[in-house]
């Protein structure tokens, strides 16, 4: 699965190849995606190449070949208005989002001492495949730290959360502790207490009274940008 930025870049490159017959420069890619430096474009290009979505042509400047598109965008591969997540204007024409993808509100990095609603940037969103989410409201959250590393959740990852208090014991949830601290942990009952368990042996399991813990959502997906 591609990240939102990787999808944006791939579709932008494909659009420019169809319209101009030449791939955009790194400066143009940076501006189209709203990045601050070209180093981010280098990382995205490398990620797309590793996954077989593009190929660099040797001994030719600005020479990229699109090998394939994400399934959600393949139907529109021949259209000049290729899809990008944050609608921009390219060559004077608006670019629409791809079908079957959703923009979720993106909260900030999960941090102790900060209620989750305070983390939200009303202008920040992240694009996810529609198949990643089910019924109900969902949001995305940036992860800080290594407490869930053995569950495959790394510092800097973006997790997709189904909002609400419902969960099954043993699931990974976003928990609000004492109405102040937000944390991402496994949650289950241990006797009369609620256990918040990390996926890293460096961190001890926390046992808390049930009235100190409020579930604010359960993990349903993960996005990683390389």
Q: State pLDDT tens for residues 110-167.
A: 754 455 555 666 667 888 887 788 888 999 888 888 889 999 988 888 899 999 999 9
Identify the residue with better confidence: 59 or 178: 178
Answer yes or no: 85 catalytic: no
Q: Would you give the DSSP letter of residue 99?
A: T
Query: Which pLDDT tens digit goes with each residue over 11-29?
Result: 998 888 888 777 888 888 8
**Global pTM?**
0.56
Domains with residue ranges and CATH for the chain: 4-80 (1.10.10.10), 105-223 (2.10.109.10)
Question: What burial class does residue 112 get, using C-beta atoms within 10 Å of its C-beta: 0-12 exposed, 13-18 middle, 19+ buried?
Answer: exposed
Q: Describe the crossing of helices 4-20 and 38-50 by its angle, rounded to 10 degrees.
A: 90
Residue 31 and residue 70 in contact, taking contact as beta carbons nearer than 8 Å: no
Q: What token pair was written down for 162?
A: 């189904």
Residue 174 and residue 141 in contact, taking contact as beta carbons nearer than 8 Å: yes
Q: What is residue 1's predicted lDDT score, i.e. its pLDDT?
A: 60
At residue 21, the 3 state secondary structure works out as: coil
Strand intervals (E) in 84-180:
89-90, 93-94, 101-109, 120-129, 138-142, 158-163, 172-177
Residue 149: φ, ψ to 5° = -65, -35
Catalytic residue among 23, 72, 85, 147: 147
Answer yes or no: 147 catalytic: yes
Q: Tell me how far the alpha carbon of residue 91 is from its chain's centroid.
A: 27
| CB within 8 Å of 198: residues ≥ 6 apart | 147, 148, 185, 186, 204, 205
């Amino acid at each position: 699965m591609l990240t939102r930025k990787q999808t944006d870049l791939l579709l932008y490159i494909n659009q420019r190849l169809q319209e101009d017959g030449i791939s955009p420069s790194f400066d143009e890619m940076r501006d189209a995606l709203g990045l601050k430096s070209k180093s981010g474009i280098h990382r995205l290009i490398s990620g797309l190449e590793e996954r077989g979505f593009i190929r660099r042509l040797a001994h030719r400047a600005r020479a990229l070949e699109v090998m394939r598109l994400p399934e959600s965008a393949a139907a529109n591969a021949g259209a000049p208005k290729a899809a990008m997540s944050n609608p921009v204007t390219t060559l004077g024409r608006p670019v629409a989002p791809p079908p079957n993808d959703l923009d979720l509100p993106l909260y900030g990095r999960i941090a102790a001492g900060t209620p989750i609603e305070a983390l939200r940037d009303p202008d920040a969103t992240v694009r996810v495949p529609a198949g990643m989410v089910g019924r109900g409201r969902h949001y995305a959250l940036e992860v800080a730290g290594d407490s869930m590393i053995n569950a495959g959740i790394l510092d800097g990852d973006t997790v997709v959360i189904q909002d609400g208090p419902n969960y099954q014991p043993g699931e990974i949830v976003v928990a609000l502790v004492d109405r102040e601290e937000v944390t991402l942990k496994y949650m289950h009952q241990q006797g009369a207490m609620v256990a918040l368990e990390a996926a890293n042996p460096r961190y001890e399991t926390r046992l808390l009274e049930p009235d100190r813990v409020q579930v604010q959502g359960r993990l349903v997906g993960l996005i990683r940008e390389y």
